[in-house]
Structure formats: C-alpha cells, structure tokens
Amino acid sequence: MADPLLTLSGVHTHIGPYHILQGVDLVVPRGGVSVLLGRNGAGKSTTLRTIMGLLKPSRGEIRFDGRLIGGTPTPAISRAGIAYVPENMGVFSDLTVGENMQLAATQGAFDATRLSWIKALFPPIATFWEKPAGTLSGGQKQMLAVARAIIEPRRLILIDEPSKGLAPAIVTAMTRALGELKETDTTILLVEQNFAMASALGDTVSVMDDGRVVHAGDMAELSGDAGMQERLMGLSLEVHQ
C-alpha cells in the first residue's frame, strides 16, 4: 500500500494492570472508509483512544502522515488534523448545540458554506441550535457528535460505533450521511459492530481479536465470504444484519 495516512506498528497499550492492545499492526490508506471490526473487548475502542493520545502506548509506533504521534498529547494530535467521535459521543449536555459546535470550531469563526452543508447533512443541528444538547435524543446527539468532528476540515476522523443504541431508521440515515462525508477528502476510521453499516461504508477492513489485528483486507472480500466472517469473528455476521 503506497504512503498510508496512518500506520500502527506493534502497538501495545495497558490500562492499569490490563494488557489490552498486544501488538496492533494497522494501516489506514488515504481517503475512503477503513473499518475496524471485532468482538466486544477485542480492543477496537482502545485502539482509537490510543491513536487519539487519550491512552499512552507502552510500546510500538504510531505514524500519522509519516510523523510519529505515539505518546503525543491529545490536543496536539487533534490540531494535526485528527477528529474523534467517542463511543459515548462526548456531547457537552450543559451546552447548547450551537455552543458545542462553537467549541469544535477551533479557528474561531464558522465557515458559512461548511456549516450550511453540515446543517443539510444533519437537520436537527439547525433545528435545535439554541437548545441544550442534553435534551437531544440519542440519535440527535450522535449527529451532533459527528457534526462537531467535521465542522472544520479534518484529514482523519475516528468514529467509535456510531450506530450503537440507535433506531434502525436513524442508523440508515447516519449511514447515508457518512456515505456523503466519504465523498469528501476526509479519511474515516470506523469502529462498528453493525455489519450492514460497516459493509455499506467500508473500503478496507481490519478485524481485531484479543488485542491484535488478525485480518486486514478489502471490505468487499469479507462481505462476500460467510466462511471468512465465521472464522474471523467466531460467529456468523448474518445475525448482525
């Protein structure tokens, strides 16, 4: 793969006494959506948190656009062009939707064209601009979390299970929105348990198990091979669809 955007080589991460990541090797090419799959507890969220600098790797190398970022403070990683949408969405419930967006606009003023595009992508952002984010529904909070991540152009967005706990109609809408986002220059690294969403969006896929990447390849290949799904995931992915 020529000149990937992000590479993890032999990354180990401990949380307290627990050895969560045990030598993760991951390559995220430029552009498109790379999906990270795996069972609960496989280390997917920890991988994203380690990339974002929220957890310090105990060993290994993380390179973003050729630059070493492993162990770099989180704000510096963010300013390098990586946005993060955590599993709990990280929405500030005491702040209004507008204030949440304002904090994400680190350059100060909003880019009017970009803001209009985001409001068209996620209509609740415009509708509830003045409302406290804590009063939004789960789906609306998820939209705010993604909208906040893209309010300024980012080179890489890490999104952790955007479909978690959402109604099917919202998941479909979110898939469509991420599909539109995929058409921009932004690269997305998506952690997802919903295989339908993952296969609809993903270009490449890495499967994790026990803190390691056990498979990396094209999403289309995994989507079309039930046997491979069964072998890699330990259960039929059909049940997730």
Partner 1 sequence: MSETAIRPKLVAASAGDRLRKAAPLLLAPVMALAGLIAIADPATWLTLTVAGLAMGLMIFIMASGLTVVFGLMDVINFGHGAFVSVGAFVGFTVLAWLAGWTENPAVIMNLAAVFLAILASMAVTGVLGLAFERVIVAPVYGHHLKQILVTMGGLIVAQQLIHVVWGPDAIHVARPQSLRGSVIVFDAVIEKYRLFAVAIGLVLFLGMRHVLRSTKVGLLVRAGVENGEMVEALGYRIRRLFLVVFMVGSALAGLGGVMWGLYNETITAHMGSDLMVLVFIVVIIGGLGSIEGCFIGALLVGLLSNYMTFLAPKVALVSTIALMVGVLMWRPEGLYPVVKAK
> Rule CB under 8 A: which residues touch partner 1?
52, 54, 73-75, 78-79, 83-84, 86, 88, 90, 92-95, 99, 102-104, 106, 120-124, 127-128, 131, 134-137, 139-140, 143, 148, 169-170, 172-174, 176-177, 180
Q: Least distance (Å) from partner 1 to the CB of residue 233?
A: 27
Query: In the sheet where 212-218 sits, what is the strand order?
Result: 82-85, 156-160, 187-191, 33-38, 204-209, 212-218
Q: Least distance (Å) from partner 1 to the CB of residue 136?
A: 7
- 10 vs 86, beta carbon nearer partner 1: 86
- 123 vs 217, beta carbon nearer partner 1: 123
158 to 6, 18, 47, 81, 237: CA distances (angstroms): 11, 23, 10, 11, 23
Q: What is the residue whose two structure tokens read 């890495």?
A: 206
- 124 vs 233, beta carbon nearer partner 1: 124
Residue 150 backbone dihedrals phi, psi, to 5 degrees: -115, 10
Q: Least distance (Å) from partner 1 to the CB of residue 106?
A: 5
Q: Least distance (Å) from partner 1 to the CB of residue 235?
A: 28
> Which 3 state secondary structure label does DSSP give 164?
coil
Amino acid at 64: F
- 177 vs 198, beta carbon nearer partner 1: 177
Q: Least distance (Å) from partner 1 to the CB of residue 111?
A: 16
